[in-house]
Each structure stands twice: as C-alpha cells, then as structure tokens.
Amino acid sequence: MERAEDAADDAATVHRASRLLRPVGYLLIGLVWTAIWLTGLLLLLGSVAWLAFADPEPLVEGVGERLSHPVEAVAFVVIVLPVAAVAIGPGAWYVLTASWPLAVLSFVYVVRSLRPSYAHEKLSFTSYALPGSTFGPPTVGGVALSLQPVRPTSFTDTVMRFYRTGWTFSGRMVLAMLPAGLAWVTAIAALVRGVPDTVHVVAAVLTAALLGVSLVLGRRAFRAQAEPEVPEHERSVGAMSPKERARRLRALRRQRDRRQRNAR
C-alpha cells in the first residue's frame, strides 16, 4: 500500500510548461554558481600573481619600511597576518565550497530534465536549516537550502556532503583553514621579485608546510562535519524531501487511527 502511495507521489503532476522550461532554468542557475566559483578562484590565485609579479618594488619597499619599525612590525604580525589568514583561508574555503556543489547539482538536473524517466517528477527540493547554523544575513525563519536531489545517487550524496560543509559553519574548519590563509602571504613572498633567494626558498617551504597542515586538518574537520544522514524518523520536517514528508504524514495518520481504534 505504501509503495503504491510512494509511486503516486513520484508521479506528482509536473506541468508541461515546467518540463520545457526547467532545463533552461537549471542551466542558468548552474552557470551563475559556476561564475561565482570561478570569480572566487581567480581572485584567490590571481591576487597572488598580481601582487608578486606586477611591479613588485612598491610592495617590497612598503613592507620593508614597515618591518623596519618595531611598532609597525608588531602590528603587521599581530593584526595584518591574522586578518589575512581569516579572510583568505576560511573565506576562500567557504566561498568555493558553497558554490561548486550547487553548480554541479544544477547541471545534474539539466541532464535529468532531458530524460523521459524524470519527466513526471520533481528533480530537486528545498529544506530549511535552523537560523544561525548557516552563512548569510540574519533571517526570521530557517535558511533555505535548495537544489537538493529528490532522487539521490551515490554521486549526488558525495556532492551533498560538500554542499552541507560549505553552507554550515564549523569552528574546526575555520581553524583548519587558517594555515592556508597564511600560505597566501608566504606564497607572495616566495614569488615576488626583488628579494634575496634565501627569502624565496624559506617562503616556498613555509607555503608548502602551511598548505600541508591545512590539508590534514581540513580533511579531519570535513569528515567530522559531514556526518552520515540522520535516519528519516529522527529528522525535522523542514529537512525532509516531499516524499519523506508525505510518508511521515501517512505514518502519523496511521498512528492516530490506531489509537482511536484502541480507545473504542
């Protein structure tokens, strides 16, 4: 009986206009998120190249002058480096990881929308996270997490793990990405012209070491954060797909009917 009802849910009416337009819609969404990801990546890598190779004399002279004064040197180490580490390390991680999964899922739905086997069913759904648990401006209600697959596969499950970690704040992940933020600074020192070769070598070694530390700590933080899916009966209604909500509603109705029969 329940299987028949699930089949009816799967066959929920999808208007013909929606079927015709949704490949275009998902394609546009995917292109937008791809553009966001590429912009973040180009800013991250391009800033290193620009600061290192585009007329490095002002940069070298400016940093050298500031480091020659004890007060400014301390301010650089205590203020500038930590701010750069936070902005570049965790900032880049969350911008990139919050964008590419949505682009990939959108392109998956473009392919599915062209297949007859998906013609009469919804391809994605939206759930709502608790306020304050995700990135973004404050909201009155839960934060919408859209483009989640109605029919998951092992591939989309993997993408969703990155999706969740990219949109959910984790102090452990922030700490893991701090060395990568410092590596952005040392990478510039390793590439910039006009400094001794010793500085290049030391900065290059530091860059590799810092990136290695972030890689190890980041993998641990990712595994700790990307926990297995909570069983359906323990999940909140807002985190369920339409099919799961329908099943939960039918189960609650059966429990209610059973209690009413027992009361008689």
DSSP 53-101: HS--HHHHHHHHHHHTSHHHHHHIIIIIHHHHHHHHHHHHHHHHHHHHH
Q: How far apart are CA 85 and CA 80, in angstroms?
A: 9
Computed over every residue of the chain, the mean pLDDT equals 80
Q: How far apart are CA 163 and CA 28, in angstroms?
A: 19
The answer to whether residue 114 scores a pLDDT higher than 60 is yes
Q: Which residue has the higher pLDDT, 9 or 249?
A: 249
Asked if 207 and 186 count as a contact pair (C-beta separation under 8 A), the reply is yes
Distance (Å) of CA 17 to CA 22, 30, 137: 8, 20, 34
The answer to whether residue 140 scores a pLDDT higher than 80 is no
Asked if 36 and 99 count as a contact pair (C-beta separation under 8 A), the reply is yes
φ, ψ for residue 232, nearest 5 deg = -60, -40
Which range of 43-47, 200-204, 206-210 scores highest in mean pLDDT? It is 206-210
The answer to whether residue 128 scores a pLDDT higher than 90 is no
Closest to 125 measured CA to CA, from 243, 228, 247, 36: 243
Q: How confident is the model at residue 145 (pLDDT cuts 50, 70, 90)?
A: confident
The answer to whether residue 135 scores a pLDDT higher than 70 is no
Q: How far apart are CA 217 and CA 100, in angstroms?
A: 21
pLDDT average, residue stretch 232-238? 55
Query: For position 15, what pLDDT does the model report?
Result: 74
Q: How confident is the model at residue 139 (pLDDT cuts 50, 70, 90)?
A: very low
The answer to whether residue 2 scores a pLDDT higher than 70 is no
Closest to 81 measured CA to CA, from 204, 210, 216, 201: 210
Q: Which residue has the higher pLDDT, 199 or 68?
A: 199
Q: Which of 73-87, 180-194, 222-236 has the lowest mean pLDDT?
A: 222-236
Query: For position 172, what pLDDT does the model report?
Result: 93
List pLDDT tens digits, range 9-53.
Answer: 444 456 777 778 899 999 999 999 999 999 999 999 888 887 777
Q: How confident is the model at residue 154 (pLDDT cuts 50, 70, 90)?
A: very high
The answer for residues whose C-beta is within 8 angstroms of residue 195's C-beta and 6 or more apart is 60, 189
Report strand pairing: 143-149 vs 124-129.
antiparallel
Closest to 97 measured CA to CA, from 28, 174, 153, 26: 174
Q: How confident is the model at residue 7 (pLDDT cuts 50, 70, 90)?
A: very low
Residue burial 23-61, b: 16+ Cβ < 10 Å; e: rest: eeebeebbeebbebbeebeeebeeebeebbeeebeebbe
